[in-house]
């Protein structure tokens, strides 16, 4: 059987297509005004992570704001993450091995700074105050001009509980210390801003002391009207789908969500489903062909056998 190679439908994310509602916009503005991180919860695929791209994009366009980068600095939390990892990493093993090699070759021992890399929040702090940095303390390139940044800390609830407890002072003062360089301090420049956006899938509770220092916003699952707005923005003006067809497909998507109890599909999966249907020319066939296309592409929306068995009847 020949396999058809379809042209890719995954497009680079365009922050201009992110639909930012008034409530979420207000929460972001409050967090910026209070100089506090914003903590976002909501179902996977509701746009929590992409908000950082949108905020960085919008702040960079605004000449009245401090000099912002147009892309966020991102930290993707792991179950093994420690608070220090958000600021910098030190390759102790690499340093040890390099030191032994140099010793055998009777060359000068490598500097500690060659094994220190600034990470998302640490780099943002350093970029805000480059004039007062001793760049011999680390190897990361910072730039000469002071600048502001949006920092994304994604899925913060994945980290051990100590991660958030250990961040309390640093995230309030925007300063940290390089322990391996005699506790050399790096502090934020007074004229620049750092906007911190954190996401959580609510897999575990975060400490109360940490939550008190955040602005909280829960992104609800979009209404059908909002899904239509999102779909039109993501598919673009060249899409052949009419508003009525999109409404019908979003209605079918809603039926799938109602039936799929183990893992209801999210907004991102809806957009992927619509793009595949568009690519396969669903508008060109009769009703029978259209129904088959909907059924054949359910694997984009449904991710467990139990949910697939429950959902297939909708498209029979």
Could you read off the pLDDT of 261-270 as tens digits, one per residue? 788 898 989 9
Shared domain check, 193 and 235: no
Q: Are residues 210 and 245 in the same domain?
A: no
Task: Give the tens place of pLDDT for each residue, 15-64.
Answer: 888 989 999 999 999 999 999 999 999 988 888 999 999 999 999 998 77
Boundaries of domain holding 279: 224-315
183 and 74 together in one domain: yes
pTM of the predicted model as reported, rounded to 2 decimal places: 0.87
Model pLDDT, residue 246: 92
* Residues 145, 65 within the same domain: yes
pLDDT of 2 reads 57
Q: Which residue has the tokens 């999102």?
A: 230
My answer on whether 282 and 311 are in the same domain is yes
Low-confidence spans in the chain with pLDDT less than 70: 1-11, 102-107, 283-286, 316
- Residues 206, 235, single domain; the answer is no
The answer to whether residues 39 and 63 belong to one domain is yes
How confident is the model at residue 107, as a pLDDT?
66
Which of 218, 236, 259 delimits the end of a domain?
Answer: 218
| 7 inside domain | no
CB-based contact 197:152 (threshold 8 Å): yes
Residue 111: inside a domain: no
38 and 159 together in one domain = yes
Q: Are residues 206 and 262 in the same domain?
A: no
Q: Of 218, 250, 274, which residue constitutes the final position of a domain?
A: 218
- Does residue 93 form part of some domain? no
Would you state the pLDDT for residue 123?
Answer: 97
Are residues 161 and 49 part of one domain? Answer: yes
Single residue among 218, 240, 263 that ends a domain in this structure: 218
Q: What is the pLDDT of residue 311?
A: 84
- Domain match, 124 and 185 both: yes
Question: SS3 letters for the chain?
Answer: CCCCCCCCCCCCCCHHHCCCCHHHHHHHHHHHHHCCCEEEECCCCCCHHHHHHHHHHHHHHCCCCCCECCCCEEEECCCCCCHHHHCEEECHHHHHHHHHHHHHCCCCCCCHHHHEEECHHHHHHHHCCHHHCCHHHCCCCCCCCCCEEEEEEECHHHCCHHHHHHHHHHHHHCEEEEHHHCCEEEECCCCCCEEEEEECCCCCCCCHHHHCCCEEEECCCCCHHHHHHHHHHHHCCCCCCCHHHHHHHHHHHHHHHHHCCCCCCCHHHHHHHHHHHHHCCHHHCCHHHHHHHHHHCHHHCCCCHHHHHHHHHHHC
Quick check: is 284 in a domain?
yes
Q: What tokens were used for 209?
A: 């002391």
Same domain, 75 and 168: yes
pLDDT at position 4, please? Answer: 59
Domain count, the chain: 2
């Amino acid at each position: 059987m020949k396999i058809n190679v379809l042209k890719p439908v995954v497009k680079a994310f365009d922050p201009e297509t992110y639909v930012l509602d008034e409530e979420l916009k207000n929460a972001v503005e409050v967090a910026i005004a209070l100089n506090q991180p914003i903590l976002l919860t909501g179902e996977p695929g509701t746009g929590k992570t992409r908000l950082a791209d949108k905020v960085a994009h919008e702040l960079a366009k605004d000449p009245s704001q401090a000099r912002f980068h147009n892309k966020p600095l991102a930290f993707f939390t792991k179950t093994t993450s420690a608070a220090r990892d958000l600021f910098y990493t030190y390759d102790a093993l690499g340093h040890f091995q390099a030191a032994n090699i140099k010793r055998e070759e009777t060359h000068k021992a490598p500097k500690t700074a060659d094994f220190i890399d600034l990470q998302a929040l640490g780099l943002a702090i350093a970029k805000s105050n480059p004039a007062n940095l001793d760049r011999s303390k680390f190897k990361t390139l910072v730039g000469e001009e002071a600048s502001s940044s949006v920092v994304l800390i994604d899925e913060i609830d994945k980290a051990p509980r100590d991660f958030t407890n250990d961040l309390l002072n640093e995230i309030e003062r925007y300063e940290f210390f390089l322990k391996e360089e005699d506790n050399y301090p790096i502090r934020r420049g007074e004229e620049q801003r750092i906007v911190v956006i954190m996401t959580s899938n609510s897999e575990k509770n975060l400490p109360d002391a940490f939550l008190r220092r955040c602005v909280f916003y829960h992104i609800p699952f979009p209404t059908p009207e909002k899904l239509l707005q999102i779909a039109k923005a993501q598919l673009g003006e060249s899409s052949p789908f009419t508003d009525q067809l999109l409404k019908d497909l979003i209605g079918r998507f809603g039926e799938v969500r109602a039936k799929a109890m183990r893992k209801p599909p999210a907004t991102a999966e809806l957009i992927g489903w619509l793009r595949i249907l568009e690519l396969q020319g669903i508008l060109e066939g009769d009703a029978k062909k259209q129904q088959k296309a909907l059924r054949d592409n359910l694997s984009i929306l449904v991710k467990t056998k139990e949910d697939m068995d429950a959902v297939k009847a909708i498209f029979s």
